[in-house]
Amino acid sequence: MRVCVVQMNQGSDKAANIAQARGLIEGALAADRPDLISLPETWTNLGGGREAREAAAEVLPEPGGSGGEAYEFLRGIARGAGIVVHGGSIIERGPDRLYNTSLVFDRDGREIARYRKIHLFDIVGPDGTGYRESAVYGAGDRLVTCSAGGITFGLSICYDLRFPELYIALRRAGAEAIFVPSNFTLQTGKDHWEVLLRARAIETQCWIIAAASWGPYQERGATRFVYGHSLIADPWGHVVAKVSDGTGFATARIDPALTARVRRDMPLLAQRDARPIAL
């Protein structure tokens, strides 16, 4: 399976973000002919404050129903190109809160996975800037996997990356590859992004598919920056595809034989189960 990560520089204009995603996806399809495309976290909105997030939010439909503009865009790309589409994440309007939610569509445009981000980004950055995702979003509480093209995928989003127990749980649930769509800040990304992604690949022996946002955006009158450097890592922890600065895409081939060989030669999960650590 050929997998492509798309790197965007989205802002608070939802229509412009969808147009940017369309252009990048069309470029990737023409150049690399991927079987699966993955987008970044909240690719329909970055910045602009609570009002912009509310404006970008969509009520997600029941199975088979019609969704909002971003939902139908993702479904249309999957159906029209005959590929699997991992829609990074979009802003879901729930009954009482917003949610940061990933969607996956199969080649026929059917939704096959929906995951709400579990770990919310409530931190103070190295420069003193505060982030409080829980002020806007509710947290998910469910592990999600799906299968496409004979491969089982696990779903996660951005700050989830810092919680390895989630990734081990996805491996136990059968994951062979794990999505990590992200808006990593520039300050944290330059020090932690690739290190953490490679660590999650090594310890789970899964492919890591990490589409990220890059560059400046406006938030409440201030300019902030996200790190980008979208990448794909193999189960040995090697980075096999990577996007540089700017918008763009990168593609790699997921090889199930490599996954099987790494797991056979270093049976980490069986050894973990055989020697559980009691604390």
Confidence of residue 54 (pLDDT cuts 50, 70, 90): very high
pLDDT tens column, 101-160: 999 999 999 999 999 999 999 999 888 888 899 999 999 999 999 999 999 999 999 999
Architecture in CATH of 2-274? 4-Layer Sandwich (3.60)
Q: How far is CA 202 from CA 1, 70, 80, in A?
A: 20, 34, 35
Write down the pLDDT at residue 279: 59
What pTM was computed for the model?
A: 0.97
DSSP result, 44-101: T--SSHHHHHHHH-BPPPPTT----HHHHHHHHHHHHHT-EEE---EEEE-SSSEEEE
How confident is the prediction for the chain on average, in pLDDT?
96
Chain position carrying tokens 């201030």: 222
Report pLDDT digits (tens) over 3-21.
999 999 999 999 999 999 9
Strands 222-227 and 214-219, sheet pairing: antiparallel
Element (H, E) at 182: none
| Rounded Cα–Cα distance for residues 65 and 23 (Å) | 26
Per-residue confidence band for 63, with pLDDT thresholds at 50, 70 and 90: confident
pLDDT in tens, 155-203: 999 999 999 999 999 999 999 999 999 999 999 999 999 999 999 999 9
Taking the domains of the chain in order of start, what are their residue ranges? 2-274
What is the pLDDT confidence band of residue 277, given thresholds at 50, 70 and 90?
Answer: confident
Report, as residue numbers or ranges, the catalytic residues.
41, 117, 158
